[in-house]
Amino acid sequence: ATVRYEAESSPAVCNGTIDSNHTGYSGSGFCNSSNAAGAYNQFTVNAAAAGTASLAIRYAHGATDTRSADIVVNGATVAAASAFPATGGWTSWSTKTVSVPLNAGSNTIRLSASSAAGLANIDYVEVTDGAPPQQNGR
Ligand code: GCU
Ligand code: CA
């Protein structure tokens, strides 16, 4: 199943501001992290079973510097300094996909800036786990 988690929706935490000044986002806005290494956007995601899930991160990066983030799952860095290439404008959104190990039940996934400029603007993450799609009553 694939579930979307908006960057601006609690229990997600945006270490920065929730902005809506660049169009094309989903939901009511996006996370504009503070311009600092270690600035973060953290999500709480659910998995039906333990295993590897696909994490799709929708973001925009309209400047030309290199933005990168550590992908931290349940406190452990699973991908260090993962690159978020420029998208050509702050209203141009792209999706970056990484594999993450999840526990059954609740997990935290933190995107933690590894460059001084902070994160790219983050719209949402989508988590796809290996669970089969639900079929009504069967
Ligand atoms: C601009 C842009 C922000 C972005 C920031 C940045 O200020 O409007 O949305 O987050 O640049 O470089 O991080
Ligand atoms: Ca920013």
CB of 131 closer than 6 angstroms to any ligand 1 atom: no
Whether residue 133 lies inside any domain: the answer is: no
Omega before 85 cis (within 30°)? no
Query: How far is ligand 2, taken at its centre, from the CA of residue 135, in Å?
Result: 41
What pLDDT digit, counting tens, does each position of 2-40 carry?
A: 999 999 999 999 999 999 999 999 999 999 999 999 999
Q: Is the CB of 29 under 6 A from ligand 1?
A: no
pLDDT of residue 116: 95
The rounded distance, in Å, linking the Cα atoms of 88 and 48 is: 37
Whether 47 is in a domain gets the answer yes
Query: What is the total count of domains within the chain?
Result: 1
Q: Which atom belonging to ligand 1 lies closest to the Cα atom of 32?
A: 10
Report if residue 23 sits inside a domain.
yes
CB of 33 within 6 A of ligand 1: the answer is no
Q: Lowest mean pLDDT: which of 34-38, 106-110, 132-136?
A: 132-136
Residue 93 belongs to domain with CATH number: 2.60.120.260
Give domain status of residue 113, yes or no: yes
User: Does residue 115 lie within any of the structural domains?
Assistant: yes
pLDDT in tens, 51-102: 999 999 999 999 999 899 999 999 999 999 999 999 999 999 999 999 999 9
The secondary structure of the chain as a DSSP string is -EEEEETTSTTSEESEEEE-SSS--STT-EEEE-SSTT-EEEEEEEESSSEEEEEEEEEE--SSS-EEEEEEETTEEEEEEEEE---SSTT-EEEEEEEEEE-SEEEEEEEEE-STT-PPEEEEEEEE-SPPPP-TT-
Pairwise CA distance, residues 53 & 36, whole Å: 28
Residues 30/91, Cβ–Cβ less than 8 Å: no
How many Å lie between the centroid of ligand 2 and the Cα of residue 54?
25
Q: Which atom of ligand 1 is nearest to the CA of 22?
A: 9
Residues listed for the chain: 138
- Using the atom order of ligand 1, give the atom closest to the CA of residue 33: 10
Give a yes or no: residue 135 inside a domain: no
Domain span holding position 92: 2-128
Residue 121 Cα: closest atom of ligand 1: 10
Residue 103 lies in a domain: yes
* CA nearest ligand 1 atom 10, residue: 32
Q: Is residue 30 part of a domain?
A: yes
- Whole-model pTM: value is 0.94
Q: Please name the amino acid found at residue 22.
A: H
